[in-house]
Amino acid sequence: MMQIPKVSIVIPVFNTKDYVSRSINSCINQNFKDIEIIVIDDKSIDDSLSIIESFNDKRVKVVKNSINLGTFLARKEGIKIASGEYILFLDSDDYLLKNTIEVLLDNIKDADMIHFGIIHEPFKKYATLPKIYTNNLYNEDIVKEIIINNFNKSWLNLCGRMYKTQLVKKAISKIDFIDKHLISSEDTILFFIICLLAHKSVGIKQNLYIYCENNNSITRIKTQDRLQKQVNDRTYLISVLHLIENDNELKLHKYYKKSLKNIDSMLHYFICFSKKFIHNDDIIPPYFKYSILSMKYMPRWQTIIKIIIYIFSFGVKKI
């Protein structure tokens, strides 16, 4: 009888040949050994797949997508086959400290998810990092604290947390109809649903996830086509919010409508952010127009300062 692993680590990969070996090795070399490492090659066109297949470790399971599905659907492939009691997500250009799984299992106890720290490599003194929720949160207070009270400080993504696998499988079943190639804000709605369904959340301050600078990452490339793709992805995700609005289980949550509105506002904000840099022939410069419009969705003092600087610099495009 095959032993069921304690933790599944899901790593989607697309053209990260310079980083993927480090990422997988950080999992293989964990102090805690009872894990499975699910690596999904999303039809890479560099040497990523050959690097992945070179690992001689039975815990490494390779999934080869026949077409490029995008980050969301690639992760979904990993979630479907994950057999561990817990699940953790790792991007293929990042890595984990070798005691990560050991520390998380020591602290998660009976919780549905555990939050932990993320640090940048190379180190950035003033880097924006997600708020770590170290206090115990129960039931409806999870959404209240993360999606409402600290909305501007939360990173609504899957990384930087470990979850009960069955919770993630149930959450993704709510949006099983998604079939779009998504690479921008792709974690947002799944993490939102996880928070709605979770009964207990805990956290620790330790920095265990190393977020690495990769200027070739699909999330960092800022061509006009890529910016428009970001707009399209987030516009589609807004339509997904409307489709789950009447989910019979989710709408019973005390803070469902208010938190749903916050997620909608966040997606609109990021649409405005991308549109600031898309060239057009409008009389009003897009940077100024969409900076102003973004304040409707997420008022931020940083945006106000940038608008003032923009005005006083007579419309310099880059601030």
What is the chain's mean pLDDT, rounded? 92
258 and 180, same structural domain?
A: no
14 and 154, same structural domain?
A: yes
197 and 234, same structural domain?
A: no
Q: What is the CATH number of the domain that holds 43?
A: 3.90.550.10
262 and 177, same structural domain?
A: no
Domain boundary among 162, 191, 212: 212
pTM for the full predicted model: 0.91
Domain boundary among 171, 190, 212: 212
**And the tokens for 314?**
């007579």
Rounded to an integer, what is the distance from CA 219 to the centroid of its chain? 11
Domain extent, residue 172, equals 7-212
d(CA 133, CA 126): 20
279 and 255, same structural domain?
A: yes
Neighbours of 36 (CB within 10 A): 22
| Domains contained in the chain, number | 2
Residue 218 belongs to a domain? no
Tell me the pLDDT tens digit for each residue of 27-76: 999 999 999 999 999 999 999 999 999 999 999 999 999 999 999 999 99
Contact 7, 32 (CB under 8 A): yes
Contact 119, 187 (CB under 8 A): no
Domain boundary among 151, 186, 212: 212
pLDDT value of residue 69: 97
95 and 27, same structural domain?
A: yes
Q: What is the mean pLDDT of residues 18-23?
A: 98
Query: Does the pLDDT at position 219 exceed 90?
Result: no
